[in-house]
Chains A and B, each alone.
Chain A
Amino acid sequence: EPEVTQTPSHQVTQMGQEVILRCVPISNHLYFYWYRQILGQKVEFLVSFYNNEISEKSEIFDDQFSVERPDGSNFTLKIRSTKLEDSAMYFCASSVPGQGSTEAFFGQGTRLTVV
């Protein structure tokens, strides 16, 4: 069964450093998303991406964040200058096109720890 894969599974970085989280969405999906889950809290939407541009973003997704689809398979989330409060589990997801009725399939997540 096709699945969303994320690398690395765990990343530790120093405050102020740049990190790139990588995702390979399911191959026939066209919508891509990043969500995050701070430990013990709910899953929060960061950004959605379609047709090589951001289609929606939340207030969390400020200028420190960016997304890119550098090739036909990868989808990345970059945090330019990490802060302690960026420590969270980051989930990539993808879905097929549809009028909002299609479910998103989530990867296993990347646990980001900022020290």
Chain B
Amino acid sequence: AQSVAQPEDQVNVAEGNPLTVKCTYSVSGNPYLFWYVQYPNRGLQFLLKYITGDNLVKGSYGFEAEFNKSQTSFHLKKPSALVSDSALYFCAVRDIGQAGTALIFGKGTTLSVSS
């Protein structure tokens, strides 16, 4: 069965510092990996995805994520955090093969960026 783990409930970082939000996954085959962000009382916004190719993918708002197959990880990163990045971040995985199949989400990590 597919699963996603986000080991940190909360990540605190000072504005201007680099941030990392961790994600590990488990799938039976090769994964499609996604990051979404949720602001209070809002829906989920797509940030970036890994499908194939370069292990470092870049997405919206200066975020990037590194796919590491041997460690089954897909950590979200940003070189310099902004206070406006404070939100709930979800990692999600989908097993390669079938379109329309479920995204399996992690429990989410709250990112708090202090000024």
Residues of A within 8 A of B (CB): 4, 31, 33, 35, 41-45, 48, 50, 55-56, 58, 91, 93, 95, 97-109
Count chain B residues whose beta carbon lies closer than 8 angstroms to a beta carbon of A: 27
Contact A99 B43 (CB under 8 A): no
Contact B104 A45 (CB under 8 A): yes
Q: A43-B90, A103-B49 are in contact. Are A31 and B100 (CB under 8 A)?
A: yes
Interface residue? B63 (CB, 8 A): no
Which residue of B43, B45, B98, B108 contacts A100 across the interface (Cβ within 8 Å)? B98
Interface of B toward A, CB cutoff 8 Å: 32, 34, 36, 42-46, 49, 51, 90, 92, 94-108
Across the A-B interface, the 10 shortest Cβ-Cβ residue pairs = A45-B102, A106-B44, A42-B107, A31-B100, A106-B43, A43-B105, A108-B43, A101-B51, A103-B46, A55-B100
In the complex, how many angstroms separate the beta carbon of B80 from the nearest chain A beta carbon? 25
Chain B nearest Cβ from A10, distance in angstroms:
10
- Given known A43-B44, A101-B49, contact A56–B100 (CB-CB < 8 A): yes
Q: Is the CB of B99 within 8 A of A98?
A: yes
